[in-house]
């Protein structure tokens, strides 16, 4: 497991000189570079990041061996396709969800009632798993990929509609992930309790393991009962079994990433 930092900044002469002294040669102007915490230069870089308040995006990278040995894994997408429709004034919310339990303050409580609508069909290319922008706990795949990889594991699908005419898009389906599991959240996980609805929401997990399910499940793809996010965004983590990871890997399906579940750091 490696903790990776993507640092973004505007470099002026002072910053250029300070980074050069620790072995990183940056050009003046806006720049971005990547470094992991195992790098001997990281402690010095961390001091500079804090000093200048640079943007620091953190994520965790697991080895192939760690992923293949994991019993449960969190799933994330490596690319996104457009926005759910209608996107003006977030009109897709009312069109797609039952809003009776929705909290506008924290974003929790959405219950899907209708198919998602896309402006156009995805151009799949070499990738076969995607998410739509704004919706980070739903996944979409080509129908043949669903048939070969997800359907044999008991994972159902929903149609996706073309917003212009309401007809079904024949080249994409939504994975129907309806099973919910409680995750084992330790005390080290701070949470926000919404003043409006009382729902607990945990900060996004960017480093270390994703919490494991509290109890084992026979479902191969499921969502966390807990919400994660900040501000008005609330999402559930989508997780999968070892068998699902193996099926996706064996089929050579690209577009998804796996994060190992375990004791959170």
Closest CA to 49 of 86, 6, 94, 102: 6
In the sheet that holds 55-61, the strands lie side by side as 29-36, 2-11, 55-61
Asked if residues 62 and 1 have their Cβ atoms less than 8 Å apart, the reply is yes
pLDDT of residue 71: 95
Q: pLDDT for 7-58, tens place per residue?
A: 998 888 888 888 889 888 888 889 898 999 999 999 999 998 888 888 999 9
Global pTM reads: 0.87
CA–CA dist 1, 64 (Å, integer): 10
Asked if residues 110 and 97 have their Cβ atoms less than 8 Å apart, the reply is yes
Which residue, chain included where needed, has tokens 């701070």? 190
Q: pLDDT for 155-167, tens place per residue?
A: 999 999 999 999 9
Please give the structure tokens belonging to residue 78: 């490596």
Q: pLDDT for 123-144, tens place per residue?
A: 998 999 999 999 999 999 999 9
Q: At what angle do helices 42-52 and 13-21 cross, to 10 degrees?
A: 160
CA-CA distances (angstroms) from residue 28 to 11, 13, 24, 184? 5, 7, 13, 46
pLDDT of residue 187: 63
Q: pLDDT for 239-260, tens place per residue?
A: 999 999 999 999 999 998 999 9
Statement: residue 188 has pLDDT above 70: no
pLDDT of residue 228: 94
Q: pLDDT for 205-246, tens place per residue?
A: 888 899 999 999 999 999 999 999 988 999 999 999 999 999
The β-bridge partners of 140 are 130, 174
């Amino acid at each position: 497991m490696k903790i990776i930092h993507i640092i973004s900044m505007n470099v002026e002469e002072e910053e250029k000189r300070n980074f050069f002294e620790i072995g990183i040669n940056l050009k003046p102007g806006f720049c971005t570079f990547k470094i992991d915490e195992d790098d001997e230069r990281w402690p010095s870089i961390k001091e500079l990041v804090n000093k200048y308040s640079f943007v620091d995006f953190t994520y965790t990278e697991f080895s192939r061996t760690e992923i293949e040995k994991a019993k449960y894994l969190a799933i994330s997408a490596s690319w996104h396709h457009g926005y759910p429709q209608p996107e003006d004034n977030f009109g897709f919310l009312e069109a797609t969800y039952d809003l009776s339990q929705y909290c506008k303050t924290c974003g929790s409580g959405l219950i899907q009632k209708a198919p998602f609508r896309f402006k156009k069909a995805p151009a799949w290319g070499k990738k076969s798993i995607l998410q739509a922008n704004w919706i980070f706990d739903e996944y979409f795949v080509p129908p043949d990929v669903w048939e070969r990889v997800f359907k044999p594991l008991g994972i159902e699908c929903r149609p996706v509609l073309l917003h212009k005419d309401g007809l079904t898009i024949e080249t994409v389906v939504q994975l129907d992930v309806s099973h919910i599991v409680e995750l084992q959240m330790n005390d080290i996980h701070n949470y926000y309790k919404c003043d409006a609805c009382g729902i607990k929401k945990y900060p996004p997990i960017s480093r270390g393991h994703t919490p494991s399910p509290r109890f084992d499940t026979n479902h191969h793809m499921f969502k966390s009962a807990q919400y994660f996010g900040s501000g008005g965004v609330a999402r559930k983590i989508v997780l999968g079994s070892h068998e699902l990871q193996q099926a996706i890997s064996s089929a050579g399906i690209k577009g998804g990433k796996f994060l190992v579940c375990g004791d959170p750091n």
